[in-house]
Amino acid sequence: MGFGNQIKTVLLLGLLTGLLLVVGRLIGGQTGLFVALIFSVLMNFGAYWFSDKIVLAMYRAKPADKKSYAHLHKIVDEVVAAANIPKPKVYIIPTEAANAFATGRSPKHAAVACTEGIMKLLTDKELKGVIAHEISHVKNRDILVTTIAATIAGVISYLAHMAQFAAIFGGGRRDDNRGGSNAIALLALAIITPIIAMILQLAISRSREFLADHSGATTIKDGEPLASALAKLDKAALHHKMGMGNEATASLFIVNPLKGHGLISLFSTHPPLDIRIKRLKEMKF
């Protein structure tokens, strides 16, 4: 299952790249494509490099004192030893909402943050399953993968805006039917391609969540603790909402506060919880 999710991520990134090339060719502006690429790379490189500091400050996370949170540090120590990566910095988020996330550009520059709520809600065994999931995000370099996806999607969105501008202000320069058709095609391109890019980007995020579930359970050789934790966290989310941050950071957390089904699930950063739990319970060691 883990290898399958890796392949899926590669295919989705390939589709995003292919969409970028198609849009670039249709617009025909090599200079505009280059400028958009440079701008998007610089913007996402900055977010990638400083993401840990930004998100930790956003949620008012504080370093977890080793004496006050000795059992949390013990769990993290056990998981990183099993995963064979350096120990990340450990933080506590002052909220009763039960959740956790990992951030950082590499295993050597990573952080894991747990809310006060999740510390109270879960047993140590369930918390270990959650920590193993988050450590897997670090080990699998998911921040890098999602940054690449965001960069490509950002360039596509930029080019789509260029296409919209060209359709509105440049489509009327030619009076023949072909000129009108080109303007309509550019306008359709401007509307549809950003949506497709966003769907592909979110699909990559969901694929990485499945991979972190699988990798985390494999690390501790047990899928039940994480499955049990996810069920508890899902119920707890109905009573305690994250009062900080915004939708842009929803993908970081182990449980997404924004739920959806059917068509709406295409725009979710996380896979359906029941599927995640089912897969974890079916894992054999």
Residues involved in catalysis? 134
Q: In the structure encoding, which two tokens stand for residue 113, read together? A: 């943050």
Rounded distance, CA 151 to CA 157, Å? Answer: 10
Rounded distance, CA 148 to CA 175, Å? Answer: 41
- Estimate the crossing angle of helix 124-139 against helix 177-220, to 10 degrees: 130
Instruction: Evaluate whether 266 touches 258 at the Cβ level (below 8 Å).
Output: no
Beta strands (DSSP E) in 35-188 are 62-63, 89-93, 100-106, 109-115
| Beta-bridge partners for 113 | 91, 101
Beta strands (DSSP E) in 65-155 are 89-93, 100-106, 109-115
- Estimate the crossing angle of helix 2-27 against helix 142-170, to 10 degrees: 20
| Beta-bridge partners for 89 | 111
Rounded distance, CA 117 to CA 235, Å? Answer: 13
